[in-house]
Amino acid sequence: MATWLITGCSTGLGRALAEAVLDHGDNAVVTARDVSAVQDIADRHPDSALAVALDVTDDDAVRAAVTAADQRFGGVDVLVNNAGYGYRAAVEEGEDDAVARLFDTHVFGTVRTIKAVLPGMRARRSGTIVNLSSIGARISPEGSGYYAAVKAAIEALTLSLRKEVAPLGITALAVEPGGFRTDFAGRSLTQSAEPIADYADTAGKRRKEHDTVDGKQPGDPAKAAAAIIEAVESEHPPFMLLLGNDASDGFRGALRSLLAEVDEWESLSRSTDIDE
């Protein structure tokens, strides 16, 4: 029986994953900034679930959550960094404080939890770290530059981490979901306060007031949760787990486009070495 610590369990994929893990027979530390939002999950699974308040931007809260997991279940076997939210703005429109909060939550929040669980995982020579990214990191739509940036940072961090911890019996993987039927495009989506008219036909089309995606996303959170569990339990977990047909199609399309450009400019790229 594994013990999972999952951040951001109040709604969406985090809640679906917490419920799937518990139904699967594992233990789960279910977290949210407001612990009352996840207490119902713990109440339904009194022997295997622990509800903990966790704001991933708070160092003390992160350490306390891991300590609570250690005391109740003897350690964290699987960490899932799911907590986060969306932010839409043209790059020029992005407010400094809003962008800083976005990076603190997604990137540095992920780093905080990883650092908190790794000593225990290293001591046990086992463990899995799952970091939620987004297909946005690959396709970088207009208006999502900052969100794509934090997710791309998480992916790069995860790949280096995977190489560092593999000899210690620990694995790390990134999950790139497409659009899932959660509140991500609704309550969990923020945006810049002051749009710039020159971006109306690019980033402006994706502002919340013009968005028609919420409630129509193709992905099923329950199926995503099952896929994550299957990947974590596999003999050789992937580095990158894509979730959804839109994610798979978008990923392949982005790679084809990038490779075509690499081929077009390859002779110039290869012309810059020192002549010996």
Secondary structure letter of residue 219 according to DSSP: B
Query: What is the greatest pairwise CA distance in the chain?
Result: 70
Helix axes of 59-73 and 109-124: crossing angle, nearest 10 degrees: 30
Output the CA torsion sign for 15, 18, 21, 22: negative
Q: What's CA 170's distance to the chain center, in Å?
A: 19
Half-sphere exposure at residue 128, Cβ-oriented, CA atoms within 13 angstroms: 22
Reduced to 3 states (helix: H, G, I; strand: E, B; else coil), residue 262 is helix
Interatomic CA distance for residues 109 and 76, integer angstroms = 17
Q: Which of 48, 134, 151, 199 is an active site residue?
A: 151
Do 244 and 208 meet the contact criterion of CB atoms below 8 Å apart?
no
Q: Is 151 a catalytic residue?
A: yes
**Could you report how far apart the first and last alpha carbons of the chain are, in Å?**
59
Judge residue 98's burial from the number of C-beta atoms within 10 Å of its C-beta, 0-12 exposed, 13-18 middle, 19 or more buried: middle
Half-sphere exposure at residue 176, Cβ-oriented, CA atoms within 13 angstroms: 28
**Which segments within 117-211 are labelled E, that is strand?**
127-132, 170-177, 189-191
Q: Which of 48, 133, 144, 192 is an active site residue?
A: 133
Residues designated as active site? 133, 147, 151
